[in-house]
């Protein structure tokens, strides 16, 4: 039966995480993500899960990584400076191929910036915050309903591909309340990580005989294996053998990029005949939806492209739009992050890229987007 509830975005993360089967939360509260920690502290004990508030954000993600290795679906949530602190361990989870969901509620930065005001300025940090070549998955919802849906998907992708998945929300959608339709748990597709079928003595945690994503044994069930942040071979022990390292690096990339078609999520509105396509995500996309409708009333053929999967980036989706649209207007609450990726995507086409960005803690309004559309279209 469908239940309708009025939830904030942060509440929706909690409900969805429990639905997805999350059993561990390690974290350190920080505005504007704190309600997630608060909610998990309340909910997890009721499903035999564990909540632990650690001494800081680094320890929070560290504990979550440890819990995940015991087989528990694990999550941590943070914002701004806390996200900076977590970067080192995000790399560790990528290298160790440890499933983990990280929620980052974007607030104004850099540094402590504006704790209670929204921003969308961590898009690049979500992609490249941790050092080294790497691939990971980042999702950007634009409503409370979508936060619920994508939190479940974040767990699914993380378990399926043994990779940390980042849910990138913003202060606006995290704190506003909207109606959310929630189904019975059995109505949702829930993915659990593959477990080994071999005996413990024959188990290797990075053995790719049966595919790019090897099964992960839970610690504590008799499988003894090594996990390290160092480059490693199929046994999990360190190696710097160039051939093995190359194979590892390429597999870590390919297990994400070769499967991208399964999670290349985006929304298009009125794009087919559009002269100008607005690219926007998160709370900003809501304003953009209004703006393109208003533009159509003024006889401007406007459309919207909204990335739902932010990383890996949908270059090919944008490239397709650039073949028919004259112009793309990127709108984001920062000084230009997705803009650069859109420019890369349209390179070589005649489509022009324009930009409307703001990093002062204010939501970009439909009127501001409308005015910019008029300006760049020379109306």
Could you list the residues that contact another protein (CB under 8 A)?
A: 4-6, 31-32, 116, 171-172, 175-179, 283, 286-287, 289-290, 293, 363, 365-366
Q: What is the CA radius of gyration of the chain?
A: 21
First to last CA, the chain: 50
Q: Which two tokens stand for residue 277?
A: 């396509």
Q: Is the Cβ of residue 72 or residue 172 nearer to another protein in the bound state?
A: 172
Which residue intervals of 21-170 are DSSP H helices? Answer: 34-43, 57-69, 80-96, 123-128, 144-161
Nearer to another protein, 4 or 197 (CB): 4
Q: Which is nearer to another protein, 34 or 125 (CB)?
A: 34
- Measure the CA–CA gap between 151 and 12, rounded to whole angstroms: 8
How far is Cα 284 from Cα 120, in angstroms, rounded to an integer?
9
* Nearest approach, Cβ of residue 270 and another protein (Å): 14
What single DSSP character describes residue 257? Answer: H
DSSP string, 148-190: HHHHHHHHHHHHHHTSEEEEEEEHHHHH-EEEEEE--GGGS--
Supply the minimum distance, in Å, between the C-beta of residue 141 and another protein. Answer: 14
Q: What is the DSSP letter of 53?
A: E
Q: Distance (Å, rounded) from C-alpha 333 to C-alpha 281?
A: 10
- Nearest approach in angstroms of CB 177 to another protein is 4
Q: Based on CB atoms, which residue is closest to another protein, 32 or 236? A: 32
Q: Least distance from C-beta 113 to another protein, angstroms?
A: 15
Region of 127 please: left (phi>0), alpha (psi -120 to 50) or beta: alpha
Residue identified by tokens 């564990």 is: 50
Q: Give the residue from 331, 330, 269, 323 showing the smallest Cα distance to 301.
A: 269
Per DSSP bridges, beta strands 100-108 and 50-53 are unpaired
What are 75's strand-pairing partners? 25, 101
* Phi, psi values for residue 348, rounded to 5°: 95, -10
Which residue lies nearer to another protein by CB, 178 or 207? 178
Nearer to another protein, 47 or 367 (CB): 367
Shortest Cβ 3–another protein spacing (Å) = 10
* Residue 143 or 204 with smaller CB distance to another protein: 143
CA 232 to chain centre: 27
**Closest C-alpha among 315, 275, 306, 310 to residue 288:** 306
6 or 184: whose CB is closer to another protein?
A: 6
| Closest distance of CB 310 from another protein, Å | 20
């Amino acid at each position: 039966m469908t239940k309708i509830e009025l939830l904030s975005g942060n509440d929706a993360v909690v409900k969805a995480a429990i639905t997805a089967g999350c059993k561990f939360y390690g974290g350190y509260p920080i505005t504007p993500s704190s309600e997630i920690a608060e909610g998990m502290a309340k909910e997890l004990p009721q499903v035999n899960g564990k909540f632990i508030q650690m001494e800081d954000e680094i320890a929070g993600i560290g504990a979550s990584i440890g819990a995940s290795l015991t087989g528990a679906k694990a999550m941590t949530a943070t914002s701004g400076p806390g996200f900076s602190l977590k970067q080192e361990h995000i790399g560790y989870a990528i290298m160790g191929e440890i499933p983990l969901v990280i929620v980052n509620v974007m607030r104004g930065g850099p540094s402590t910036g504006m704790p209670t005001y929204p921003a969308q300025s961590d898009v690049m940090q979500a992609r490249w915050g941790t050092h080294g070549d790497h691939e990971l998955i980042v999702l950007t919802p634009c409503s409370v309903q979508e936060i619920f849906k994508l939190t479940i998907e974040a767990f699914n992708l993380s378990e399926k591909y043994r990779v940390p998945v980042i849910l990138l929300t913003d202060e606006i959608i995290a704190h506003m309340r909207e109606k959310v339709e929630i189904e019975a748990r059995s109505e949702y597709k829930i993915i659990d990580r593959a477990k080994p079928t071999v005996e413990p003595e024959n188990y290797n945690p990075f053995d790719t005989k049966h595919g790019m994503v090897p099964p992960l044994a839970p610690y504590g069930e008799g499988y003894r294996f090594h996990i390290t942040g160092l480059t490693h071979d199929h046994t999990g022990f360190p190696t710097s053998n160039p051939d093995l390292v190359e194979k590892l690096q390429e597999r870590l990339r390919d297990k994400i990029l070769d499967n991208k078609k399964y999670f290349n999520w985006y929304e298009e509105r009125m794009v087919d005949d559009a002269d100008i396509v607005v690219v926007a995500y998160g709370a900003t996309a809501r304003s953009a939806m209004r703006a393109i409708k208003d533009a159509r009333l003024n006889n401007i053929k406007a459309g919207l492209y909204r990335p739902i999967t932010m990383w890996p980036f949908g270059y090919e989706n944008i490239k397709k739009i650039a073949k028919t649209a004259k112009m793309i207007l990127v709108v984001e609450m920062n000084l230009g992050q997705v803009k650069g990726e859109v420019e890369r995507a349209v390179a070589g086409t005649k489509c022009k890229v324009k930009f409307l960005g703001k990093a002062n803690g204010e939501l970009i309004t439909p009127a501001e987007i409308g005015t910019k559309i008029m300006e760049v279209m020379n109306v």
